[in-house]
Amino acid sequence: MFTRIACASLLLLCSSAAPAASPSASLGLLVDSASAQSARDGLRVLGATPGSVADHLGLRPGDVLVDVNGVALANLGADADGRALAATTLNTTIAALPQNAPLRLRVLRDGATVALNMPSMVATEAAPVTASTDPAGTTVAGEGCGRISTFDVAPRSKHLYRAKILLLDGSTPGPTGTPAFRVTAGTHKLLVAEDIPTQEMGVGPIASLRSRRDTSKQLVVTIQPNTTALLAARLNTDKASDFANGAYWDPVIWREIPENCP
């Protein structure tokens, strides 16, 4: 049903949020966007999704991406949430590329500057999905695959924080710390736990009492083919002290990113 994808936590999945007609649905690139300091010299590459544009370009863990099509990515500072603006600049630059435009990257690798070029980026069309509905109204899996990701890149301004998948379709999706899972296209049932920092809850030390309760929640998600669904824990600020009923939070899919799933 699902397989583990080896990648690191606290990273950004660099994909454009542009419409399907854009030249690229996704770079499939994992970078360190934790802070302006981490991206002072450019975006450090931590991995690339197999079969993605980044993979075909030959980007390697440890590369530092300093330029995309002439747009510099070094020393750009941080956004309101403290994350590196270079990641946003990378995404917007990719999304703005004209159809069939070339992609030119400049990276630092082992102390030397390396140019990585691709003649054009063509949007990947989603594979057709054949889905049906059982008598209970539950969508069952069709053709194709997608991913469910818990990468902690959700905007804090929307009160979104890290979430953890405890069960995926009734099974533990280990090992612990794995942030993304490949699944068949269709409906999946998740058991999700929150990892909201106590200091963010605004109710003082009482927030630590929630650790004594099982506040995990179920979430049913429908994964489209060639799509990564980003999962997060949403803090309901108007119910931040309601630990007894678990009303202080909800698991949510806060973004869906087109991404090739081979």
Q: What is the pLDDT along the chain (262 residues), one digit of tens a residue?
A: 444 333 332 334 444 333 222 223 357 777 888 788 888 899 888 877 766 777 777 888 888 999 998 999 999 888 887 888 888 888 888 878 776 778 888 899 888 888 888 776 543 322 222 233 333 333 334 468 888 989 888 888 899 999 999 999 888 886 666 788 888 888 899 999 988 887 777 655 555 556 545 678 999 998 888 888 999 999 998 887 777 777 889 999 998 888 777 6
Residue 3 domain-assigned (yes or no):
no
Residue that finishes a domain, picked among 83, 118, 153: 118
Is residue 29 domain-shared with residue 81, that is, in the same domain? yes
Is residue 162 domain-shared with residue 63, that is, in the same domain? no
Task: Write down the pLDDT at residue 165.
Answer: 92
Task: Write down the pLDDT at residue 231.
Answer: 94
Is residue 114 domain-shared with residue 149, that is, in the same domain? no
Please state whether beta strands 145-149 and 227-235 pair in parallel, antiparallel, or not at all (unpaired).
parallel
**Domains: count for the chain:** 2
Task: Write down the pLDDT at residue 213.
Answer: 57
Is residue 154 domain-shared with residue 98, that is, in the same domain? no
Residue 184 domain-assigned (yes or no):
yes
Is residue 74 domain-shared with residue 112, that is, in the same domain? yes
Is residue 110 domain-shared with residue 155, that is, in the same domain? no
How many CA atoms within 13 Å lie on the side-chain side of 26?
25
Is residue 97 domain-shared with residue 59, that is, in the same domain? yes
Gap between the Cα atoms of 59 and 55, Å rounded: 6
Is residue 186 domain-shared with residue 249, that is, in the same domain? yes
Is residue 72 domain-shared with residue 163, that is, in the same domain? no
Residue 220 domain-assigned (yes or no):
yes
- The phi and psi torsions of 120 (rounded to 5 degrees) equal -160, 160
Is residue 89 domain-shared with residue 160, that is, in the same domain? no
Is residue 15 domain-shared with residue 52, that is, in the same domain? yes
Residue that finishes a domain, picked among 64, 99, 118: 118
Is residue 111 domain-shared with residue 164, that is, in the same domain? no
Q: What is the DSSP letter of 199?
A: G
Tell me the residue range of the domain where 226 lies.
145-258
Task: Write down the pLDDT at residue 204.
Answer: 58
Task: Write down the pLDDT at residue 119.
Answer: 73
What does each C-alpha distance from 251 to 159, 205, 254 come to in angstroms?
Answer: 12, 23, 9
34-40: which pairs have CB atoms within 8 A and are 24 or more residues apart? Answer: 34/10, 34/83, 34/84, 35/78, 35/82, 35/83, 35/84, 36/76, 36/77, 36/78, 36/82, 36/84, 36/85, 38/84, 39/73, 39/74, 39/76, 39/84, 39/85, 39/86, 39/87, 40/74, 40/75
pTM, rounded to two decimals: 0.50
* 15, 259 Cβ separation under 8 angstroms: yes
Residue 134 domain-assigned (yes or no):
no
CATH number of the CATH domain containing 101: 2.30.42.10
Gap between the Cα atoms of 45 and 258, Å rounded: 20
Task: Write down the pLDDT at residue 28.
Answer: 74
